[in-house]
Amino acid sequence: MEPAKIPVEPPKKRRIGVLTSGGDAPGMNGAVRAVVRMAIHSDCEAYAVFEGYEGLVNGGNMIRQLHWEDVRGWLSRGGTLIGSARCMTFRERAGRMKAAKNMVLRGIDALVVCGGDGSLTGADVFRAEWPSLLSDLVAAGELTREQVEPYKVLNIVGLVGSIDNDMSGTDATIGCYSSLTRICDAVDDVFDTAFSHQRGFVIEVMGRHCGWLALMSAISTGADWLFIPEMPPQDGWEDEMCSMITKNRKDRGKRRTIVIVAEGAQDRHLNKISSSKIKDILTDRLGLDTRTTVLGHTQRGGAACAYDRWLSTLQGVEAVKAILEQTPQSPVPVITIRENKIMRTPLMEAVQLTKDVTEKIQSKQFDAAMDMRDAEFKEYYDAYLNTATPDHPRLHLPEGKRMRIAIIHVGAPAGGMNPATRAAVAYCLTRGHTPIAIHNGFPGLVRHHNDKPVSSVREVRWLESDSWVNEGGSDIGTNRSLPSDDMDGVAKCFDLYKFDALFVVGGFEAFTAVSQLRQAREKYDAFKIPLIVLPATISNNVPGTEYSLGSDTCLNTLIDFCDAIRQSASSSRRRVFVIETQGGKSGYIATTAGLAVGAVAVYIPEEGIDIKMLSRDIDFLRDNFVRDKGANRAGKIILRNECASGTYTTQVVADMIKEEAKGRFESRAAVPGHFQQGGKPSPMDRVRALRMAIKCMRHIESYTGQSRDAIANDPLSSAVIGVKGSQVLFSPMGGDSGLEETETDWTRRRPKSEFWLELQDVVNTLSGRSASRTQEGWFCYENPSSIQSIPSVPNSP
């Protein structure tokens, strides 16, 4: 056969391909966008393979170069815009030979694959066979030795796109939290009808071999019963389920019943447990008016949630870095996340672990299957079992070890406060502790006590707290007042109510309150008890953690607002919106939201705003509109933190842009204000609230039986629970290595070192702003589109 008549000389720039395969998941478009723009930023060319491996096999116009502007606006789009198809041809060696030939002809020697374990396994096989595939192509006369010489090594990096979250070695896969959001929205909508008519609902969710969606939706919605593939119920489950639901409804007064079942649910003999079977059991045995809802493919639809946009973007950026750093000896990596840290994991190790779990399930080794899931999965499962209802007499502690645990909210309301309190109450009741809610913060505690208990300090019952599972804000009330306003009164109340521990949920004020109580221990023995903070604030500015409850809810609300605003900006085609975000003196919300919505620029207190910066950004906008010529319908957004500057307010910035645009484009200001606190908590805030609240309760339990002086001498008796890198841990408030001294910027009310600051560079890189501050304070932009460069600014004071 005649070798292909193409130039032998390889392209001047390295070419990186990206494809999505095996299915679609919300967030895949964000990953493609990040790969394309990071590749261009890294002086490479980006190529999209349309329709997955089928496009790789067929070649031609199905492998096309993507430019910077081609992926504009993709973050807010659902599904995958480059298509995804299952390809039987690629599973055969002949098909992979065609794919290899098409890649060589296109000059592509690196591929980012976003898909499930099957798609990623195929990518690993493709890389392993690559040298022999090229040899066979040369031997068959399909290609010449000169053509294949520059492409001896194929570099591949995997991204996991799957709503099931069924890949081992990662806490989350692209799309799983968006799918969970769809499920929770559907079940939340069912709540009112279930309550009004005292009905039962059986909700079937996706998950053939993995129960992550079912488990997390059961936690997020307070489901009465749960069925997952990894841990089938014991024989006789029908009677146990009916007994528990009867107790909840008749003895405890619960009006609604929710049962969550994964599509792959089965009993211990591998017989399928269908949603219809469960419905029939509840109807026939209990006479319960029961409805079945099979959510189906609605779980895949819609735009990605904030977390999936953030995750897919950062993983796409990391994938390009991994491509450029790979050597011929490097194993194929898959980009994963552990807690809050993006990591690289050997692909086939993760794939093999995933397959091993399925094999354990099929061989009825259910305990082993649970052990092989990530530790976080089993932890969530145990937490659900212990808090779904308080009916666990065998888990009660002896009388002498039971505690009176006070729960208080301090600071501004944040999504996740109510779910965290609900989890703490349920765990306390399960163990025999007495949960005591302090209503309206420290003022509610000390109000008119006069040695007599008041209604704002009272025990919480299970039924009261059960409805808090999906409620935003703070049902027991919160405010910013601190114990220092009346330290004597607070100490007196601690003694009056005989608190054995204090669980504080809130933001920087909560952190400050516990710091004050800890320091007052020298004077007041009442404070020599465990004092634990669970950070909950949309600002995410609490020292000791990289994640606070409520921040994810805020981000989802903010990106919904920005998506609607962008639609307005896109309709007029030549409009910029300057949107003001909350966050106090921490720019976390502005920066992370900027990453999730593809903002042109983000202004934060940590960097401030000056006239030179605004001038450069206006030049940058002007250049963008000149190149677009009104043809691109994607509007432009700038995010400004509320405290970024006292002079350059949101309205002033918008007016300056409008004035300097000279009619070439328009600008508007928008202030969502307290809308950003959100309504119902996001699923992530709900599930993490449960996990962290229970960890806090167990930490408090560890001090049972200790003297007050022994407790006070333990640095971890006053602590903050938080996510740090890839771990969840407790950090002491005081001591030589305590948060108060080492990590807290008290003046600016934020941590001294903010982990997310490096995300500013990612925002700037992917917007094309590519900002780097010089010693003179100027911003220098490099425009990857290279259609028309921005005039340089003299480096003068």
The residues annotated with a catalytic role in the active site are 164
| CA neighbor of 444 nearest in space, from 403, 475, 477 | 477
- From the centroid of its chain, how far is CA 311? 7
Annotated binding site: 23, 86-87, 116-119, 162-164, 199, 206-208, 263, 291, 297-300, 480, 537-541, 575, 582-584, 642, 668, 674-677, 749
Q: Across the strands, what pairs with 601?
A: 638
Q: How far apart (Å, rounded) are the C-alpha atoms in residues 80 and 670?
A: 30
Q: At what angle do helices 611-628 and 650-661 cross, to 10 degrees?
A: 50
Residue pointed to by tokens 């993760």: 350
| Distance, CA of 225 to CA of 219 (rounded, Å) | 10
Phi and psi at residue 566, to the nearest 5° = -60, -35
Q: From 223, 241, 231, select the one nearest 277 (Cα to Cα).
A: 241
How far, in Å, are 555, 669, 749, 769 from residue 762 at the CA level?
Answer: 17, 24, 25, 10
Give the largest Cα separation in the chain, rounded: 99
Residue 494 CA to residue 406 CA, distance in Å, equals 9
Write down the H helix ranges in 88-175: 93-106, 117-139, 145-148
Residues annotated in a binding site for beta-D-fructose 2,6-bisphosphate: 480, 537-541, 575, 582-584, 642, 668, 674-677, 749
Q: Kindly list the distances between the CA atom of residue 288 and the CA atoms of 202, 293, 535, in Å, as whole numbers in the listed order.
A: 12, 16, 40
Which amino acid is residue 21, in one-letter code? S
Report how far residue 382's alpha carbon sits from residue 372's, in angstroms, rounded to the nearest whole number: 15
The two structure tokens encoding residue 481: 């007042």
**Nearest in space to 51 (alpha carbons), one of 119, 110, 104, 4:** 119
The sheet with strand 457-459 has its strands ordered as 457-459, 434-438, 404-410, 501-506, 531-535, 718-724, 727-732
Two structure tokens written together for 718: 């006053």
For the chain, state the CA radius of gyration: 28
State the DSSP code for 55: H
| Burial (0-12, 13-18, 19+ Cβ within 10 Å), 269 | exposed
CA distance 795 to 785: 24
Nearest CA to 563 among 571, 175, 782, 586?
571
**Pairing label, strands 666-670, 575-581:** parallel
Closest CA to 628 of 575, 587, 581: 575
Alpha carbons 379 and 456: distance in angstroms, whole number:
33
